Amino acid sequence: MMLPGLPQDLVEEILSRVPATNLSRLRYICKRWDALLKDKIFAEKHVRNASKQSRLLMLKDYRVCPMSVVNLHKQVDAPVSIEFKDGFELKDSLSKPDQVDVSEIFHCEGLLLCTTTNDNSLVAWNPCTGQTRWIRHSSLYKRNSKFYLGYGNKDKSCGRSYKILRYWDDGTLGTQVVEFEMYDFSSDSWRVLDDITCNCIPQLNGMSIKGTTYSYGLDKKNHNYTFLLSFDFTTEVFESLCFPLVVGFLSHTTIALSVVREEQLSLLLQRTNESKVDVWVTDEIDTKAVLWSKLFTVDIEDTRRYMISTKVSFLLDKEKKIAVVSEPRCRGEINDFVYIVGEDRDSITIYLEPTRELLRGGFFRFCTPFVFNYVPCLVQY
């Protein structure tokens, strides 16, 4: 409890340095603190001042679950394993009290943009504060719609203006994007982007750094050439940037992006029919160019010959040169996989048995696992 009589500006300065997970519990102490924690200007100050406490999360069985790697450094005589805690509760208070099934997630500095399984509804969710916003969109029947979350107006005095970019195609390899739309949180409305120019075909595996989204995109004329594609939510402009070497969609089995400490991009590459995996990190990112460095190369031949999914997700510990890689089950297999790979260690494969849901017609529904770092924060939208 704060000492009575402290000036309000000093109270705000102190609270702005308290980690978000601890601070969110203080909103129930008094109405003044509750109002402060809901203030957008204070939230921006807190993002700048407070220490970051990242959590390892995985989308598993349609729930967002805290995840930990046990005995990674062999402190006891036991195998490396994965443990999950109870998932965060996401409920639709407007309709049913039951938890909502989440099929896809895009995360941006404390906010999660979730696509639900029932009707492809969208919800923006801050698990730290519990704030949710259900978003109506025009693509309920466009099953190949993909969504990116970011923000513009990066002037600190103005705060963040969160937006969602939606694009839609017919789902075939190499198709042209049919339509782009933009949702603005401030106006709670969608608009079609008629004059947008994109020289690449956006793919999945998008990431966000400081409000700008990054994904990989196929060259429209030659699909064997792949570029790093960025989208700036302030200017609403795409840029085609370079990967560290010639990367081709057809020549590479796996192309996956991740974020390191909300400051750097990391890239996981594996060539077709090869067991070696390269991990790269960015040295510098600007609007026109990217500089890359190879962090390490590992061989996963002792686990599986090669990963064969374009929906691989991974996290990187840059200092320890260790990556946690998640891969969904492939045709004919019943397990998802988690790999622990590193420069100075043997590769480890952990099998995860997914929950299957029987649908009408005798088909099973599986949730594609997705692993990511979540940094709790108080951001408002």
List pLDDT tens digits, range 62-71: 888 888 887 7
Give the pLDDT score at 164.
93
Strands (E), 109-185: 111-116, 122-126, 131-135, 146-152, 161-168, 179-184
List pLDDT tens digits, range 74-122: 665 667 777 888 778 787 655 555 678 888 889 888 899 988 876 667 8
List pLDDT tens digits, range 266-289: 888 887 677 788 888 888 777 677
Give the pLDDT score at 250.
55
- Domains of the chain by start residue, with CATH: 52-272 (2.120.10)
Question: Three-state secondary structure along 312-371?
Answer: CEEEEECCCCEEEEEECCCCCCCCEEEEEEECCEEEEEEEECCCCEECCCCCEECCCCEE
Give the pLDDT score at 119.
65
pTM of the model: 0.84
Q: How far apart are alpha carbons 41 and 9 in whole angstroms?
A: 13
Q: What is the mean pLDDT of residues 308-327?
A: 78
Highest mean predicted confidence (pLDDT) among 73-77, 140-144, 247-251, 285-289: 285-289
Within 10 angstroms of residue 200's Cβ, the number of other Cβ atoms is 21
Q: What is the mean pLDDT of residues 144-167?
A: 79
Give the pLDDT score at 75.
60
Give the pLDDT score at 332.
58
Within 10 angstroms of residue 248's Cβ, the number of other Cβ atoms is 17
Direct distance between the N- and C-terminal alpha carbons of the chain, in angstroms, rounded to an integer: 28
Q: What is the mean pLDDT of residues 40-46?
A: 80
Give the pLDDT score at 150.
92
Give the pLDDT score at 93.
58
List pLDDT tens digits, range 202-217: 776 788 988 899 988 7
